[in-house]
């Protein structure tokens, strides 16, 4: 049976499908543990050092380590590098803490929104787009396109979910390839 499953996964991958496994995926070269919280897992991801530094600078460590549940759309270092030159350095300055907090909390939903739950909301909507209000009070929308989950912010920016459903003890993380920008 194990060999059959491996063959089916191999066949699916060769046709461009995405395999789904019960275990948490690796993120940034590190295992993600369901019994650890968002912060405890994020600090181990080599792909999220900028996000972790920003969370620390904004004073959000205790919040994101709290009971939640939270859904975090976690931009990679590469996503932060796509911002205009100097943006990250400016946001990390103490005098810009409020702005940094708003940007970061615009990536967070209250609740445990797995990809399956988000897709169910998309299917329910007439325009095939699910709408959410972030912890910052800003709007995010989600849509399925070409077999991928895409997140849209109020500013018209779009982020692709590259790794979905990284379970945490206090919620779920979805890795995204762009920074979402609130208005």
The CA-CA-CA angle for residues 65, 168, 142, to 5°, reads: 100
Give the confidence band of 21 by pLDDT, cuts at 50, 70, 90: very low
Average pLDDT over residues 56-69: 91
Residue at 7 is within a domain:
no
Per the structure, the count of domains in the chain is 1
Global model pTM greater than 0.95: no
The mean per-residue pLDDT over the stretch 112-140 comes to: 94
pLDDT reported for residue 142: 96
Q: Regarding predicted confidence, which is higher, 107 or 28?
A: 107
Beta bridge partners of residue 109, listed in sequence order: 71
Cα–Cα distance, 134 to 149 (Å, whole number): 17
Question: Is residue 141 included in any domain, yes or no?
Answer: yes
Report the CATH number at residue 136: 2.30.180.10
**Is 12 a member of any domain?**
no
46 lies in some domain: yes
Mean pLDDT over 3-27 rounds to: 45
Residue 133 has pLDDT above 80, yes or no: yes
Q: Is the residue at 168 inside a domain?
A: yes
Q: What is the DSSP string of the chain?
A: -HHHHHHHHHHHHHTT-----SSPPPBTTB---TTS-HHHHHTT-GGGHHHHHHHHHHT-HHHHTSS--EEEEEE-HHHHHTSPTTHHHHHTSGGGHHHHHHHHHTTEEES---HHHHHHHHHHSTTS-EEEE-TTS-EEEEEEETTEEEEEETTS-EEEEEEEEEEETTEEEEEESS-----
The answer to the question of residue 5 being in a domain is: no
Range of the domain at 64: 26-176
CA distances from 105 to 45, 120, 127 (A): 20, 24, 26
124/4 Cα distance (integer angstroms): 35
Q: Enter the tokens of residue 85.
A: 């030159």
Q: Are 94 and 127 in contact (CB under 8 A)?
A: no
């Amino acid at each position: 049976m194990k060999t059959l499953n491996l063959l089916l996964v191999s066949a699916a991958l060769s046709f461009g499908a995405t395999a789904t496994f019960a275990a948490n995926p690796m993120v940034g070269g590190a295992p993600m543990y369901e019994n650890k919280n968002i912060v405890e897992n994020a600090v181990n991801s080599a792909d999220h050092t900028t996000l972790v530094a920003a969370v620390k600078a904004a004073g959000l460590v205790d919040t994101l380590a709290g009971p939640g549940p939270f859904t975090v759309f976690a931009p990679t270092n590469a996503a932060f590098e796509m911002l205009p030159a100097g943006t990250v350095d400016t946001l990390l300055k103490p005098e810009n803490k409020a702005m940094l907090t708003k940007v970061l909390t615009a990536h967070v939903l209250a609740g445990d929104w797995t990809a399956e739950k988000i897709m169910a909301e998309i299917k329910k909507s007439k325009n095939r787009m699910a709408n959410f209000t972030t912890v910052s009070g800003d709007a995010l929308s989600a849509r399925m396109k070409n077999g991928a989950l895409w997140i849209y912010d109020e500013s018209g920016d779009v982020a692709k979910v590259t790794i979905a459903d990284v379970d945490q003890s206090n919620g779920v993380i979805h890795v995204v390839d762009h920074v979402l920008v609130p208005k």
